[in-house]
Amino acid sequence: MADRINYPKLSPQLYNTLYAMEKILAESALDHGLLHLIKTRASQLNGCLFCLDMHTKEARLDGERELRLHHLPLWHESNLFTDKEKAALEWTEKLTKIGPHGITDEDYAKILEHFSEKDLSDLTFAIGCINMWNRLGVAFRPAAGGLDAVLGLDKAGLA
């Protein structure tokens, strides 16, 4: 399916600001493997093929096990994820598909068992950022794999 519009060209300042946020998040103390998991899971939930394709390939290039990626949609049933990863994935789902009661005090207390306030803040920004990218991807449908050569994702061998 062809791209609908070239949003980076039409809104360069906004695009570059979102991209700059990604670069800052990549330099945060958050584990890169965890970031791959939350970006992939949010992209699954939001139905963004471009981002799902990209973050699956990035995860594989960074050493993520293929079976864990296959288990990701049912992470809560899998024993392949740590308690901290499960907490982050649950937080991702709650912030991606916000329910009628938002984030409860119980939800908040539960995530703080695994993350410092600073790391939770960074994690929440990361989830918000991937959700924004997903919305752009769903709205404008950039071609999955379209940036593989530029980003080196063709080396993942998942074509």
Domains and CATH numbers, the chain: 12-156 (1.20.1290.10)
Place of tokens 């070239």: 6
What tokens were used for 73?
Answer: 């949609």
- Mean of pLDDT values over 125-147: 93
Lowest mean pLDDT segment, chosen from 72-76, 132-136, 153-157 = 153-157
- Mean of pLDDT values over 59-83: 97
pLDDT 10s digits, 140-153: 998 887 876 777 77
Provide the residue count of the chain: 159
Percent residues over pLDDT 90 in the chain: 85
What string of H, E and C letters represents the secondary structure of the chain?
Answer: CCCCCCHHHHCHHHHHHHHHHHHHHHCCCCCHHHHHHHHHHHHHHHCCHHHHHHHHHHHHHCCCCHHHHHHHHHHHHCCCCCHHHHHHHHHHHHHHCCCCCCCCHHHHHHHHCCCCHHHHHHHHHHHHHHHHHHHHHHHHCCCCCCCHHHHCHHHHCCC
pLDDT confidence band for 2 (50 / 70 / 90): low
Q: Which of 59, 19, 86 is nearest to 153 (CA)?
A: 59
Whole-prediction pTM: 0.92
pLDDT of residue 4: 87
Lowest mean pLDDT segment, chosen from 33-47, 101-115, 143-157 = 143-157
Q: Using the predicted structure, report yes or no on whether residue 1 has a pLDDT greater than 60.
A: no
Q: Determine whether 97 is exposed, middle or buried from the number of CB atoms within 10 Å of its CB (0-12, 13-18, 19+).
A: exposed
pLDDT of residue 119: 98
**How close are the terminal C-alpha atoms of the chain, in Å?**
17
